[in-house]
Amino acid sequence: MIRERLIFEISDKGKNGFRFPKLDVPENKSLNDRIPMRDSIKDFPQVSEVEVVRHFTRLSQTNYCVDKGIYPLGSCTMKYNPKINERIAQIENFITSHPFADPEMSQGNLEVLKTLEDVLREVTGMDAFTFQPAAGAQGELVGMMLIRACMEERGDPRKFVLIPDSAHGTNPSSAHICGYKVKEIKSNDSGTIDLDDLSNNMDKDVAAIMITNPNTLGVFENQIKEASEVVHSKGGLVYMDGANMNALMGICRPGDMGVDAIHLNLHKTFSTPHGGGGPGAGPVGVKKILEPYLPVPRVKNKDDQYFIDEDCPKSIGRVHSFYGNFLVAVKALAYILSLGPEGLREVSETAVLNSNYIRKSLEKEYHLKYKTPTLHECVFSDKYQKQYGVSNIDIAKRLIDLGVHPPTMSFPLIVHGALMTEPTETESKADLDSFIEAMKQIAEEAREDPGILKSAPHNSYVRRLDETAAARNPKLRWEP
Amino acid sequence: MSYIALSEKDKKEMLKAIGVSSPKKLFDCIPGDIKLNRDLKIPTAMSEPEVMGYFNECAQKNKNSEYISFQGAGAYRHYIPAAVDYLSSRGEFASPYTPYQAEVSQGTLQSIFEFQTLICQLTGMDIANASLYDGASGAAEAVLMAMRINRKSKVLVPKTLHPHYRQVINTYTRNLGISVREIGYDETGRIDTTELEKNLDNNTSAVVCQTPNFFGVIEDLDKISAYAHENKALSIAVLAEASSLGLLKAPGEMGVDIATGEAQSFGIPLSFGGPYLGFMACSKEFVRQFPGRISGETNDIDGNRGFVLTLSTREQHIRRERATSNICTNQALCALRATIFLEILGQQGLREWARQNIQKANYAYDLFKDIRGVKAFFSGEIYNEFVIKTGKKWKEVESEFMRKNIIPGISLERFYPELEHCGLVCVTEVSRKKDIDRFAEILKGILAG
């Protein structure tokens, strides 16, 4: 196989891929003496346009992607990204719009943001949204800051945040940056929050609980209302990580379960592409009690005119250079308007159907630690395969050989050797079956020929990579 | 419209396999009293042409295409080569997740590795990460990183730093016992070093310095770093206009410990402020405190070169509350655009680009300064933005310009009440000489009147 070189290795002196028009003002030579300038950057690439285009085309072909096939990465909601959304996000008047443009000149942009706020309020049952957070983790941070600001105004910010042991790693990290210490709440045998453990830990020093619902096992926290009551009765607030909203649209709403603040991942539930790791968007929705603390600027409307409100004295302030990832919001609104109320409910129903079909088809071959019913995802483990010396990583790498993307590995932490599987609603039955067949084949190979799994992948662009060596002897940039 | 790929027959077969009669049954685990039991009250579904029509109408309500703009202030108009849009919109780049499964993500991982290398070359620093959200949160992350390194609790932030960046630093630090002290500017438009010196002490964690700064003035980074280091504080450089790195001396040559900023200028459209591209680079010795994802080189079992996400023990999914940052999803596709942009421009193109920015802006600056009723407010050297003071309040000047379909820049009054007669004007390589000359004529007319 031909290996794509680094651009720096393709580079050759004197080539270039772009030409600027001639400078149309008289050159001021004195600038060179007045201002400390650098020499040409040594070893900066020098390549022609065709070489750049082929370089990235060839690189792209080594990636797996949703446009190619099923991508059942648990907790990531890798659904198909409708192409109309991309076209809309390229409309000239959106992309050439300056963030300091006067509101009168950017009514279209403000309408998008306000309309999206209104539909998300209805979908979640919350009262107000901010679009500043650029991703889910920043949304969590904002959510916790809002809670802290509210607590401070009541007189005491409190010290702790309760987080279930099944939570995403971003939850404890976000709470920590907000100045809170984390107390972990245990899961019970059905994989949900242990209400007794919650009651024992909930006291006047606890500011909030961060709940993911459905949780990372795909299980609905059926006692969420009771949990919220426990937290509220001691003066705490409830934050919901909305990463798994894809299971709930049109079915039930966080705002009706006692949730005070939530973030959504527009790049998961609302179909905007992940881009290999962003840009996403993590808008935060809140109940009335937290609205005064939302970040500035806020978009509002009066008499059919949209305006920007920066005069919010209790606001936690700004968390983004401008209005957040605006074009991502545009795409999410296009998605919601395309689907409408029935369409959104069908999304959740089908996501849950697909996930349960996979669960049912594989539960004999792969261990399920929790037997509780699941919604949009389910977490298998490598327990049955361990006896043959095969672990979840071997299963994942072998799936690559078989042409499908592996599930999320080793998360949540409460399931040892986890394979967290979320097919989403956009997969055809044939694609679901191809995943199921591949998993079954691997289960058989584990019994018959485990060696083939341990040395997988065999026919990918690169074979199993040495991550330990990468961390031990970090090489983080090209050098001549 | 629906994006479901199951036929009714498929659904029936699947329900049968699961052993339930309808999809609704699968939601029995949700208590009845919190179920919605009605349709969401949102607009009914639209077909693709209808959705397109709605957004076309919406976009028409933006008036930007009718104006020639001289706005900058952290969001810059630059030409974007066709290949950037073409390549970055490929589904193979746009539609994968974060490259956790390295063997099927080499395209993304190698691109990140090239991005990191380019950022190192541009900033003159040792290491760079895969990206951060934007310039403002980059500045905040740099401040938090400095505190982790030296465990001191005071940070000096100049008024010459973008006001929005200052606001974000305040939001990020307010719950962590960090005191943020603002430092004023002098008549050059640069950090007031007397005030800086007075406020530096052995509890100072870092000095933040934006260059070119919010007024477009090039700061003396060398000197600021020296002040910081004398007091064992770290020097943080913020680059809000990354194109300047093509020509101005690199932060790494001027004693900077952490360089961060906004790389929107590298092939990313204005887009009403986002998505943009935060970046960060630092010296090797601080790698353990560095936030964000990093791609690193390694080998596969056959000895072939490959790339993986590395040093992840710093990150939230491993270290949870002790992570260096909570960031996970970043701005990967924007970083890819920047990588393509920089590689297309290449060594000569990059330099020519920056040269045209500095030449055109200085041409405009010199032209406007000579107009009766106009003053160059600051004496410092500028890159592609500058402050002019006019005999009239800037707001009046601005509305006169708007009538001629020109947006003359940004009013400074909202951020600096003392500068109500001042405007911040940005001139880049896309500003044509004839538009600059027309700007001068109009300004002359306004101030003569």
Interface ipTM: 0.98
* d(CA B232, nearest CA chain A) in Å: 25
- Would you state the structure tokens that stand for residue A144, as one six-digit string? 């916790």
Pairing of strands A160-164, A181-185: parallel
Alpha-carbon distance of A424 to A390, in angstroms, equals 27
- Indicate yes or no: CB of A108 within 8 angstroms of CB of B60: yes
A61 to chain B: closest CA residue: B92
- Would you state the structure tokens that stand for residue B7, as one six-digit string? 């036929």
B234 pLDDT above the threshold of 70: yes
Q: What are the extents of the domains in chain B?
A: 65-79+346-448, 82-341
A39 to chain B: closest CA residue: B247
- Would you state the structure tokens that stand for residue A219, as one six-digit string? 């299980």
A363 to chain B: closest CA residue: B18
B56: phi then psi, degrees, rounded to nearest 5:
-60, -45
Nearest by CB to residue A60, choosing from B33, B92, B318, is B92
pLDDT, tens digit, 9 for 90 and up, residues A293-305? 999 999 999 988 9
pLDDT, tens digit, 9 for 90 and up, residues A376-399? 999 999 999 999 999 999 999 999
* d(CA B228, nearest CA chain A) in Å: 21
Nearest by CB to residue B101, choosing from A55, A176, A405, is A405
A260 pLDDT above the threshold of 90: yes
Alpha-carbon distance of B343 to A5, in angstroms, equals 14
Task: Kindly state the percentage of chain A with pLDDT values over 70.
Answer: 100
Task: Kindly state the percentage of chain B with pLDDT values over 90.
Answer: 95
- Indicate yes or no: CB of A8 within 8 angstroms of CB of B24: no
- Indicate yes or no: CB of A35 within 8 angstroms of CB of B358: yes
Question: Which CATH number describes the domain made up of B65-79+346-448?
Answer: 3.90.1150.10
> What order of strands is seen across the sheet that includes strand A181-185?
A128-130, A284-286, A261-263, A237-241, A206-212, A160-164, A181-185
Alpha-carbon distance of B84 to B268, in angstroms, equals 9
Strands (E), B95-233: 127-128, 154-158, 179-183, 204-210
Mean pLDDT (whole number) for B329-345: 97
The pLDDT-based confidence of B64 (bands split at 50, 70, 90) is very high
B122 pLDDT above the threshold of 90: yes
Residue A18 has what pLDDT? Answer: 97
B144 to chain A: closest CA residue: A177
A258 pLDDT above the threshold of 90: yes
The pLDDT-based confidence of B136 (bands split at 50, 70, 90) is very high
Residue A335 has what pLDDT? Answer: 98
A256 to chain B: closest CA residue: B34
A342 to chain B: closest CA residue: B39
Q: CB-based contact (8 Å) between A317 and chain B?
A: yes
Nearest by CB to residue A275, choosing from B27, B296, B333, is B333
A172 pLDDT above the threshold of 70: yes
The pLDDT-based confidence of A414 (bands split at 50, 70, 90) is very high
- Indicate yes or no: CB of A462 within 8 angstroms of CB of B103: yes
- Indicate yes or no: CB of A428 within 8 angstroms of CB of B5: yes
Nearest by CB to residue A112, choosing from B7, B58, B360, is B58
Q: CB-based contact (8 Å) between A370 and chain B?
A: no
Rg (CA), chain A: 25
Q: CB-based contact (8 Å) between A354 and chain B?
A: yes
Angle at B359 between CA B407 and CA A93, to 5 degrees: 30
- Indicate yes or no: CB of B40 within 8 angstroms of CB of A249: yes
Cβ neighbours of A56 in B, within 8 Å:
87, 90, 93, 107, 111, 340
Q: In the 8-state DSSP scheme, what is residue B191?
A: B
* d(CA B434, nearest CA chain A) in Å: 9
Contact A468, B313 (CB under 8 A): no
Residue B328 has what pLDDT? Answer: 87
Higher per-residue confidence, B322 vs A403: A403
Residue A197 has what pLDDT? Answer: 96
Cβ neighbours of B71 in A, within 8 Å:
98, 100-101
pLDDT, tens digit, 9 for 90 and up, residues A29-73? 999 999 999 999 999 999 999 999 999 999 999 999 999 999 999
* d(CA B90, nearest CA chain A) in Å: 8
Q: CB-based contact (8 Å) between A135 and chain B?
A: yes
- H runs (alpha helix) in A282-402: 326-362, 383-386, 392-401
Q: CB-based contact (8 Å) between A157 and chain B?
A: yes
Sequence-separated (6 or more) residues with CB below 8 Å from residue A3: B304, B305
Contact B403, B442 (CB under 8 A): no
* d(CA B215, nearest CA chain A) in Å: 15
Q: CB-based contact (8 Å) between A55 and chain B?
A: yes
The pLDDT-based confidence of B314 (bands split at 50, 70, 90) is confident
Alpha-carbon distance of B14 to A428, in angstroms, equals 11
Topology given in CATH for the domain delimited by B82-341: Aspartate Aminotransferase; domain 2 (3.40.640)
HSE at residue A170, side-chain half, CA atoms within 13 A, is 25
B319 pLDDT above the threshold of 80: no
* d(CA B195, nearest CA chain A) in Å: 24
Nearest by CB to residue A276, choosing from B7, B17, B93, is B93
Contact B234, B205 (CB under 8 A): yes
Nearest by CB to residue B64, choosing from A24, A38, A105, is A105
Mean pLDDT (whole number) for A159-167: 94
B211 pLDDT above the threshold of 90: yes
Sequence-separated (6 or more) residues with CB below 8 Å from residue B75: A98, A99, A100, A321, A322, B264, B270, B273, B276
- Indicate yes or no: CB of A172 within 8 angstroms of CB of B54: no
The pLDDT-based confidence of A80 (bands split at 50, 70, 90) is very high
- DSSP assignment of B17-66: HHT-SSGGGGGTTS-GGGB--S---SPPP--HHHHHHHHHHHHHTB-GGG
* d(CA B334, nearest CA chain A) in Å: 7
Mean pLDDT (chain A) is 97
Cβ neighbours of A63 in B, within 8 Å:
92-93, 96, 104-108
- Indicate yes or no: CB of B62 within 8 angstroms of CB of A105: yes
* d(CA A303, nearest CA chain B) in Å: 16
- DSSP assignment of A66-111: TTTS---BTTT------HHHHHHTT-HHHHT--TTS-GGGBHHHHH
Bridge partners (DSSP) listed for residue B259: B237, B281
Bridge partners (DSSP) listed for residue A408: A420
3-class DSSP state for residue B258? strand
- Indicate yes or no: CB of A44 within 8 angstroms of CB of B350: yes
Cβ neighbours of B122 in A, within 8 Å:
41
* d(CA B185, nearest CA chain A) in Å: 20
pLDDT, tens digit, 9 for 90 and up, residues A426-439? 999 999 999 999 99
Mean pLDDT (whole number) for A321-330: 98
Contact B326, B77 (CB under 8 A): no
B63 to chain A: closest CA residue: A105
Alpha-carbon distance of B409 to B115, in angstroms, equals 31
* d(CA B342, nearest CA chain A) in Å: 8
* d(CA A354, nearest CA chain B) in Å: 8
A275 to chain B: closest CA residue: B94
Contact B247, B355 (CB under 8 A): yes
Residue B27 has what pLDDT? Answer: 98
A277 pLDDT above the threshold of 70: yes
Alpha-carbon distance of B240 to B210, in angstroms, equals 7
Q: CB-based contact (8 Å) between A307 and chain B?
A: no
- Indicate yes or no: CB of A45 within 8 angstroms of CB of B347: yes
Task: Kindly state the percentage of chain B with pLDDT values over 70.
Answer: 100
* d(CA B46, nearest CA chain A) in Å: 5
Residue B420 has what pLDDT? Answer: 92
Mean pLDDT (whole number) for B146-171: 97
The pLDDT-based confidence of A1 (bands split at 50, 70, 90) is low
- H runs (alpha helix) in B155-251: 163-173, 193-199, 221-230
- Indicate yes or no: CB of A471 within 8 angstroms of CB of B312: yes
Alpha-carbon distance of B403 to B436, in angstroms, equals 17
- Indicate yes or no: CB of A429 within 8 angstroms of CB of B10: yes
Nearest by CB to residue A257, choosing from B1, B23, B34, is B34
First to last CA, chain A: 24
Mean pLDDT (whole number) for A265-276: 97
B59 pLDDT above the threshold of 90: yes
Nearest by CB to residue A100, choosing from B312, B343, B410, is B410
B15 pLDDT above the threshold of 90: yes
B6 to chain A: closest CA residue: A428
3-class DSSP state for residue B407? strand
pLDDT, tens digit, 9 for 90 and up, residues B65-94? 999 999 999 999 999 999 999 999 999 999
Sequence-separated (6 or more) residues with CB below 8 Å from residue A55: A4, A7, A10, A47, B343
Alpha-carbon distance of A370 to A254, in angstroms, equals 24
Q: CB-based contact (8 Å) between A346 and chain B?
A: yes
The pLDDT-based confidence of B313 (bands split at 50, 70, 90) is confident
Residue B320 has what pLDDT? Answer: 78
Structural domains of chain A ordered from first start:
7-60 (no CATH), 84-338 (3.40.640.10), 347-469 (3.90.1150.10)
The pLDDT-based confidence of B109 (bands split at 50, 70, 90) is very high
- Indicate yes or no: CB of A18 within 8 angstroms of CB of B346: yes
Bridge partners (DSSP) listed for residue B300: A465
Count CB-CB contacts under 10 A for residue A371. Answer: 10
Mean pLDDT (whole number) for B394-402: 96
Mean pLDDT (whole number) for B368-395: 96
Alpha-carbon distance of A380 to A416, in angstroms, equals 9
